[in-house]
Amino acid sequence: MLKRVLEQLRPAEAASLGPGDDCAVLTSTGDLVVTSDTMIEGPDFRLAWHSGYELGWKLAATNLSDVASMGARATALTVSFACPSDTPVELLAEVSRGLDAACAELAPGCGVIGGDLSRAPMLFAAVTAMGDLEGRAPVTRSAARAGDVVAYAGDLGLAGLGLSLLFANCADANGEAQSAGLAELRSQHGAALSAQFAPSPPIHLGVAASEAGATAMMDVSDGLALDANRMARASNVTLELSSSEIIRSFGAQRGVKVPLEAILEGGEDHGLLACFPKDIELPTGFHPIGAVRERQDAPVQVDGKSYAPRGWDPYTEYTPGLTTSKERA
């Protein structure tokens, strides 16, 4: 099984020793950044909806965006799977092909350098991603400054719309995923479902933002309002968002009209939220959506009014008013 999985993966350019030994060996020109994430069948994805290829793509994209948000160049991933003993080998091979394709398209030169296989009652994947700062300082979420421009790059709200469509059309009364109707839904709402199943965040813009002088940056995985709240609290400032600027840049994406609520509260687009000094030109791909203010009563305001930090939170099982289920997929 492991041999079949590894056959789908090309080597990482930064690896002087790849899969096959007890450890891989990476070459770096600067400080390394490291992040990890897990995805579990049920709360994070549904095999009735996701193809193996899409799942592999999503595993890579969601971790590459974290590396990009630090201003680093993604270099390598380790991926571990645990699954039921009757899982078809071809499913894991498809996941590996998706992982490889996402690395090749989103972060050329990055690749899987190792991992592990084990058994579990359901499919479980754990990914560790590494990146090279190449001599640059890391861009954290805690250094936004009053007067900065707040900007965003990537899709925003599309993935949440895709999830709401899935629960409304391809789930039973208990929110359990069903494959019935999925093909028709894909044909009618391909852009929103693609954003949910296989997000394509602008990974290359992490380095561009760092080089342009970004003061703070983070990956938006849990919704703009919730993640902006996290950045504002970490930086001890208020992020003042403009609904008109947001709608101007993100009200229509890939031919889909996206309402303001979906933009603010829908998660899993994995784009980049960043703050820049107001006197610099934003890197191409970033759109201004507000400004950083001295700390007010609320960490996040929209058009001068406090906005609650709503979005995806695995501990409170909060779901935006976009879906009909308390679970995320």
The answer as to whether 329 is a domain residue is no
The answer as to whether 207 is a domain residue is yes
**268 is known to lie in a ligand binding site:** yes
User: Is residue 102 located within the same domain as residue 214?
Assistant: no
User: Is residue 101 located within the same domain as residue 192?
Assistant: no
User: Is residue 62 located within the same domain as residue 197?
Assistant: no
pTM over 0.85: yes
User: Is residue 158 located within the same domain as residue 298?
Assistant: yes
Last residue within a domain, chosen from 69, 100, 132: 132
Weakest-pLDDT range from 19-33, 103-117, 184-198: 19-33
Statement: residue 8 has pLDDT above 70: no
pLDDT, residue 311, reads: 79
CATH number at residue 190: 3.90.650.10
- Count the neighbouring beta carbons within 10 Å of the beta carbon of residue 296: 15
The answer as to whether 314 is a domain residue is no
User: Is residue 226 located within the same domain as residue 197?
Assistant: yes
**219 is known to lie in a ligand binding site:** yes
Label residue 20 by pLDDT band (50, 70, 90): low
Q: Looking up tokens 């970490």, which residue turns up? A: 234
User: Is residue 156 located within the same domain as residue 233?
Assistant: yes
Statement: residue 329 has pLDDT above 80: no
Statement: residue 119 has pLDDT above 60: yes
- Tell me the residue range of the domain where 162 lies: 149-306
The answer as to whether 55 is a domain residue is yes
**36 is known to lie in a ligand binding site:** yes
**Token pair belonging to 269:** 């687009």
CATH number at residue 72: 3.30.1330.10
Last residue within a domain, chosen from 85, 107, 132: 132
**141 is known to lie in a ligand binding site:** yes
**115 is known to lie in a ligand binding site:** yes
CA atoms within 13 A on the CB side of 28: 19
User: Is residue 119 located within the same domain as residue 172?
Assistant: no
pLDDT, residue 318, reads: 38
User: Is residue 14 located within the same domain as residue 107?
Assistant: yes
pLDDT, residue 114, reads: 87
pLDDT, residue 326, reads: 34
The answer as to whether 253 is a domain residue is yes
Judge contact between 279 and 220, C-beta under 8 A. no
Statement: residue 80 has pLDDT above 90: yes
**Token pair belonging to 311:** 């979005």
Among 14, 42, 71, residue whose Cα is nearest residue 213? 71
Label residue 328 by pLDDT band (50, 70, 90): very low
**18 is known to lie in a ligand binding site:** no
User: Is residue 84 located within the same domain as residue 212?
Assistant: no
The answer as to whether 139 is a domain residue is no
Statement: residue 327 has pLDDT above 50: no
User: Is residue 154 located within the same domain as residue 35?
Assistant: no
Statement: residue 127 has pLDDT above 50: yes
User: Is residue 291 located within the same domain as residue 159?
Assistant: yes
Which one-letter amino acid corresponds to residue 83?
C
**66 is known to lie in a ligand binding site:** yes
The answer as to whether 141 is a domain residue is no
The answer as to whether 210 is a domain residue is yes
CA distances from 240 to 98, 206, 215, 250, 301 (A): 38, 22, 16, 17, 5
Judge contact between 110 and 204, C-beta under 8 A. no
Label residue 25 by pLDDT band (50, 70, 90): confident
- Count the neighbouring beta carbons within 10 Å of the beta carbon of residue 167: 18
Strand-pairing partners, residue 74, are 131
Q: Considering its fold, how many domains does the chain have in total?
A: 2
User: Is residue 47 located within the same domain as residue 161?
Assistant: no
